[in-house]
Amino acid sequence: MESSATFTDYDNILQQQLLQLVMDSMPQCIFWKDTHSRYLGCNQKFAEAAGLERPEQLLGKTDYDLVWKKEESDDYRLCDRRVMESGKAEMGIIEPQLQANGKQAWLETNKIPMFDNVGNVIGIMGSFQDVTDRKKAELALQQLNEELEQRVENRTAELKRAKSFADAANQAKSEFLANMSHELRTPLNGILGYAQILGRSPHLPGEAQHGIDIIHQCGSHLLMLINDVLDLSKIEARKLELVPRPLHLPSFLQSVVEICKIKAEQKGIAFVYEPAAELAEGIYADEKRLRQVLLNLLGNAIKFTDKGSVSLLVTFVEQTKQSNLCTLQFQVIDTGVGIAVVDLDKLFQAFEQVGDRKRQAEGTGLGLAISQQIVSLMGGHIEVSSQLGEGSQFSFEVTCPVATDWAQQSTLRDGRAIVGYEGESRRLLVVDDHWENRAVLKSLLDPLGFEIEEAEDGEEGLAAVHSFQPDLIITDLAMPGMDGFEMIQKVRSQESQKRQSIVVSSASVAYADQQKALDTGGDAFLPKPVDISELLRIVADQLNISWRYEDRADITTDEEKALVTDACPDAVTASAKAKTPPVAIIESWLLLARQGKLRKLRQSLEALASEDVQYARFVEPVLSLAKQFQAEAIEDLLQQSLFIEV
């Protein structure tokens, strides 16, 4: 029996030594405790971490007997209790520890409960490893993130302040340029007007005539520069916005062609216009800006072409029936001087001019840059190909919604369509050699109740005057055979026709041409391309008629009611109907807008709205545009508002 016991003791000692050897070879610090958190054993790495030479020195000690801080020992004891009371392990505990060498370390600790044969907790076993490097990296990353967040926050605040300053500067610049533009245009109009009048005088000697021509050229150049700089400032301030409206595409293109054809004929070069047969009749587009791009490209082509031709090709690319969109391609081709390859890259840069220096003096260097920006807003891009000495080709594509109701849309006022006029039926005679121009006038005026007759030239128009006996004649000037001037003279020479109302409509918008048309016998001048608002104003004025509008409730939706209530809370209770200010007040506002005096305009609008709440609905959109410094949009809106019943 004695030898057997000795063998058992030896076997236990061997197992303990083997277990101790395995634990000592592990990279983690391992320990185990009884239910009172007294250490029952550990491996060599734990003993070293606790400041002991051998694991046996740890037996019976508690955490408070070791080198840890009291706060750390308290945390260890609490964790022991949780594990033993719950009977569940806690893994991946990250906690600090003061090591024997006096350095602070971070540990990742795991603790599991130990059970006897009947399932009672008899202590815990734990392990930990040093994760100080990882913790430092995490803390450094956290600190870096906090610093980055702070830097982002500071930078965002700086950007907000910078944006605020930039917006204020852009607003001040826009207001300044608008004011200066109008202030400069006023004397320039006088300079250019009298330069043209004096230039037509037969009594001026040749040297004086040359001086007048120079004045006119310099004034025109300055006016173009003012307009280009104003447009460029709007683009830079992101204030240039497209205002798509329904337009009659054939007549729009024809009006552009007529303007450019005159310039081409003056230089003795051919102008070719080739529209596709399947072009849409009506589209939604910003007529002013699209015309600006086409006139710029065609004007440049004419300027840099001394012989040969300039061509405008308009082709139909595709139409998406489901979305009612059509894509149009515009091509401007010339046989001019061409552009060198090295100059193509800077062609669309602001204030850059390429080619012959003599021709550069005729421009501002802004036209192509502005045109590219406008086409970009339309969703396209101007492409150019050129060969020096042989000519150039500029092209771009734009996608526009098709407008099937362009004529009806063009006669809207304050959301109400003009449906007719008061009084007896009136007769109108339209004389023009281009069917597109006659078609647009007929499409606009025929639904309003006018009887309309058409004539292709002056001779046919003169015959229609006698047979049709119109109340109003709208005539072009440049026509084959008998032109508009001769027809007007013949009409006025007849005693029975001296009081005949005649409106001259022409693409020749120079002051001298307008004055000549009026001196010949015209009662009013309607520039081409025809502005619908101006057309209706002139027709109403010449025929002394009042328009009739479609009937509708003044406020039909909660949204409209909210708009009026927000603009003036008492407006709904006082009167649900919008009230139009007197013509004199609207004209005074129009003058302020043209002069760029938008602050005075805002003050006048606010004063009228506070004086009479019934003006609130009328004032609100004008005031909104004034706050955005949209002088041109204000002019358009106020001009439309002048169509009131007399």
Q: Is 73 exposed, middle or buried (0-12, 13-18, 19+ CB in 10 A)?
A: middle
Q: What is the rounded average pLDDT of the residues 91-95?
A: 87
Q: Closest Cα to residue 435, out of 454, 421, 420?
A: 454
Q: What is the rounded average pLDDT of the residues 29-44?
A: 92
Instruction: Tell me: pLDDT of 426 over 90.
Output: yes
Q: What is the rounded average pLDDT of the residues 534-543?
A: 88
Instruction: Tell me: pLDDT of 352 over 70.
Output: no
73, 54 contact by CB (below 8 A)? no
pLDDT number for residue 171 = 67
Q: Closest Cα to residue 472, out of 420, 542, 519?
A: 542
Indicate the pLDDT class of residue 479, thresholds 50, 70 and 90. confident
Q: What is the rounded average pLDDT of the residues 58-71?
A: 90
Instruction: Tell me: pLDDT of 507 over 70.
Output: no
pTM over 0.75: no
Q: What is the rounded average pLDDT of the residues 260-289?
A: 85
Centre a 10 Å sphere on the Cβ of residue 55 and count the other Cβ atoms it contains.
22
Centre a 10 Å sphere on the Cβ of residue 471 and count the other Cβ atoms it contains.
18
Instruction: Tell me: pLDDT of 40 over 70.
Output: yes
pLDDT digits (tens, 9 = 90+) for 184-241: 665 666 676 667 657 666 677 877 877 887 777 677 667 766 666 666 666 655 556 7
d(CA 479, CA 513): 15
pLDDT number for residue 571 = 33
Q: What is the rounded average pLDDT of the residues 23-51?
A: 89
Secondary structure of 553-602 in HEC code, one letter for each residue: CCCCCHHHHHHHHHHCCCHHHHCCCCCCCCHHHHHHHHHHHHHCCHHHHH
Residue 34: half-sphere exposure toward Cβ, Cα within 13 Å:
9
Indicate the pLDDT class of residue 350, thresholds 50, 70 and 90. low
Q: What single string gives the DSSP state of each residue in 378-412?
A: TT---EEEEETTTEEEEEEEEEEEB-S-HHHHTTE
pLDDT number for residue 392 = 92
pLDDT number for residue 566 = 38
In terms of average pLDDT, the best of 102-116, 263-277, 453-467, 483-497 is: 453-467
Rg (CA), the chain: 44
Q: Report CA 277 to chain centroid distance, whole Å.
A: 33
Indicate the pLDDT class of residue 457, thresholds 50, 70 and 90. very high
pLDDT digits (tens, 9 = 90+) for 155-193: 888 888 888 887 777 667 666 665 666 566 656 666 766
Cα dihedral across residues 420, 421, 426, 432: positive or negative = negative
Which position has the token pair 């024997």?
100
Q: Among the listed ranges 70-84, 426-440, 549-563, which one has the minimum average pLDDT value?
A: 549-563
pLDDT digits (tens, 9 = 90+) for 319-335: 665 567 888 999 999 99
3-state percent helix, strand, coil for the chain, nearest multiple of 5: 50, 20, 30
Instruction: Tell me: pLDDT of 34 over 90.
Output: yes
pLDDT number for residue 561 = 39
pLDDT number for residue 622 = 85
pLDDT number for residue 553 = 45
In terms of average pLDDT, the best of 55-69, 415-429, 631-645 is: 55-69
Q: Among the listed ranges 46-50, 199-203, 579-583, which one has the minimum average pLDDT value?
A: 199-203
Residue type (1 letter), 543: L
pLDDT more than 70, % of the chain: 76
Look up residue 95 and give its two tokens: 């906690």
Residue type (1 letter), 317: V
Q: How high is the mean pLDDT of the chain?
A: 79
Look up residue 570 and give its two tokens: 């008492």
